Amino acid sequence: MMEIAHADMIETEALAEQAAARHYLYQLLARVFAEEPDDALQEALSSPLTAQAWRCLVEAGAVEKCGELDSDLRRSDLAAALSRPEYTRLFLGPGVLPVPPWESAHTAGSRGLFSRDTLSVRKFYASFGYRVQGYPRVSEDFLATELYFVAALCREELHALSEGDDAAVTRARGTRQRFLREHVGRWIGTFSVRLSAQEPSSAYAVLAQVASTLVQGDGSRAENALQ
């Protein structure tokens, strides 16, 4: 019995470590696309903690090892390549954005905000007690907002694991899997491919690929864990 309890404790610790890594990476990648870069973001991207979090998920099989992608997260020049002018040009405008960072632009075939997909995301947030800052004047299907929501669900799972609340763990994972499947996982791959095609030399294109790899791997892993 003691051996079983010890094995359970080791498994719980491993799951908590993975939940913490997910939370950290989703928060960090959300910040990348949320607003213009600053020194704190650039330091975080090139820190050993970021590389450690990514390696934790790779070793757990939660994301696939992607050659250059893994080393990109440790390259200080990647973080240094982020700039305010480029962020403004890519994601704020003025003018037509090269690749719009909103779900509705990739799933509904419209560049307009507050589409049916936007309202669907808003409803999803509300059903779990979340409301974005700036409601109702902001578009909830913005990439950074969706990634921040997934990070919040990872935080809930981490808390449930620390409390030994298996039902809450299952609920947090199930909600994350649903959101990845029904929303951000539906379009982040397309967003990443389009951004790489339009801006092949951009550090933001590399980080979009990192985010896409995390989302796609996490969605598959979460779904398998629930079966």
Closest-CA residue to 86 (of 98, 73, 71): 98
Q: Interhelix angle for 2-34 vs 143-163, to 10°?
A: 160
pLDDT in tens, 89-132: 999 988 889 999 999 888 865 555 556 778 889 899 998 888 88
For residue 8, give the CATH number of its domain: 1.10.3480.10
Q: Interhelix angle for 203-226 vs 166-179, to 10°?
A: 130
Mean pLDDT check: name the lowest of 148-152, 211-215, 220-224. 220-224
Read off the pLDDT of each residue in 83-87 and give the average, rounded to a whole number.
Answer: 96
Residues whose CB falls within 8 Å of the CB of residue 139, separated by 6 or more in sequence, listed in order? 102, 104, 113, 114, 118
Domain span at residue 105? 2-226
Give the count of domains, the chain.
1
The Cα 73–Cα 78 span in angstroms is: 8
Provide, rounded to the nearest whole percent, the portion of the chain with pLDDT above 70.
81
pTM for the full model?
A: 0.88
User: Per-residue pLDDT for 68 more than 60?
Assistant: no
Residue pair 63/217 in contact by the 8 Å Cβ criterion: yes
Closest-CA residue to 147 (of 102, 193, 109): 102
φ, ψ for residue 106, nearest 5 deg: -115, -15
